[in-house]
């Protein structure tokens, strides 16, 4: 049975989409598309962009969800609808309020144009302590770290340097592969 280590499964940082702090969301989307075209060695394409500081150190990550968050209107009415939750209304009631609101305002291209100009710094997620994993860590420990922190990916370190990304999709593929191997060999 193959004993996987994190470094066997990670995507090297050089293959990942990156942009500098201060870049726009539009630039981040372009970087992501480029990485997806150039590095499609697995069936799972890249789904996030790393944000680098001026020393090329990773300071944050922009996921697809973060991109989508930039499209959400942020006016007073939306804030009011969001706050209905604390009064004990069901999520269905809140969703209906949102739908009612969106129907009351005309659709606008501006939402997309405005989002394109926004800075990645506003929407990026910074990493917590539990999102770092050493490159020599075993597959089992990495699986536990993903599960306990409910993370979609971990940053792989070599000493203090970030050298890659361990994606849940790659861990899943490896675990699935081991499972099949064990089944086949009895």
Partner 1 sequence: MKELERLLDRVIQRVNINLRELEYDVNPLVHNLIPLNQMTKFYAFYGITPNHPLNLQFRHSNLAGSYFLGRCRVTNSLLYKSDIRGDELKQKDDLFQYQEFEIPMAEDEEIEIEDSFLIKTLVHNFSHDPETLEKFFIKDTISTQYANIHGSPSNGSFLGPFATVDLTTIRDCLIGTFSYIQAGEVSHLNIEPGTVWVRSPETFNFLYRFPLQRLNNYIYFTAGSSPRGIFIDFVEDRKEAFQRVFDVLNLEPSVSVPSSASLDRFAVIKPKTHISENVLVSQRAYLQNAWLGKGANAQEQSYIINSRLEGNDITAHGAKIIEARLGKDVFVGFNCFLRGRPESQLTIGKDSIIMPHTIIDIHKPLKIPAGHLVWGLVTNEKDLDNNSMSLKAFAKIETRFSKGDMIFEGSGSEFVTTFKERIHHILEANGAFFNGISNKGHAQQNQNISFNTIQPYPKGEKEGLYPTIIIRP
Shortest spacing between CB 84 and partner 1, in angstroms? 7
Shortest spacing between CB 87 and partner 1, in angstroms? 5
Of 161, 155, 186, 183, nearest to 6 (Cα)?
Answer: 155
Whether 125 and 63 have beta carbons less than 8 Å apart is answered as: yes
Report 52-111 residues binding partner 1 (CB under 8 A): 80, 83-84, 86-90, 92-93, 96-97, 100
Q: Name which of 89 and 176 has its Cβ closer to partner 1.
A: 89
Shortest spacing between CB 123 and partner 1, in angstroms? 25
Q: What tokens does 84 get? A: 């209905």
Q: Name which of 71 and 96 has its Cβ closer to partner 1.
A: 96
Number of Cβ atoms within 10 Å of the Cβ of 105: 10
Q: Name which of 57 and 93 has its Cβ closer to partner 1.
A: 93
Shortest spacing between CB 83 and partner 1, in angstroms? 8
Pairing type for strands 58-63 and 18-20 reads unpaired
Instruction: State the first-to-last Cα distance of the chain, in angstroms, to the nearest integer.
Output: 11
Q: Name which of 54 and 86 has its Cβ closer to partner 1.
A: 86
Shortest spacing between CB 31 and partner 1, in angstroms? 38
Q: Name which of 81 and 174 has its Cβ closer to partner 1.
A: 81
Longest dimension (CA), the chain: 61
Which residues share a beta bridge with 12?
A: 164
Whether 155 and 165 have beta carbons less than 8 Å apart is answered as: yes
Binding footprint of partner 1 on the chain (CB under 8 A)? 80, 83-84, 86-90, 92-93, 96-97, 100
């Amino acid at each position: 049975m193959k004993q996987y280590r994190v470094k066997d499964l990670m995507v090297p940082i050089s293959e990942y989409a990156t942009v500098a702090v201060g870049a726009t969301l539009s630039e981040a989307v372009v970087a992501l598309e480029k990485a997806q075209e150039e590095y499609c060695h697995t069936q799972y394409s890249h789904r996030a962009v790393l944000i680098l500081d001026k020393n090329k150190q990773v300071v944050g990550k922009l996921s697809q969800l973060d991109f989508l968050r930039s499209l959400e209107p942020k006016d007073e009415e939306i804030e009011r609808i969001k706050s209905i939750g604390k009064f004990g209304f069901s999520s269905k009631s809140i969703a209906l309020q949102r739908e009612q609101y969106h129907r009351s305002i005309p659709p606008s291209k501006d939402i997309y144009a405005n989002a394109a100009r926004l800075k990645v710094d506003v929407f990026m997620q910074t990493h917590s302590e539990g999102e770092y994993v050493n490159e020599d860590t075993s597959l089992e420990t990495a699986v536990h770290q993903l599960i306990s922190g409910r993370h979609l990916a971990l940053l792989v370190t070599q000493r203090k340097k970030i050298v890659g990304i361990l994606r849940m999709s790659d861990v899943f593929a490896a675990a699935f592969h081991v499972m099949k191997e064990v089944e086949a060999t009895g």
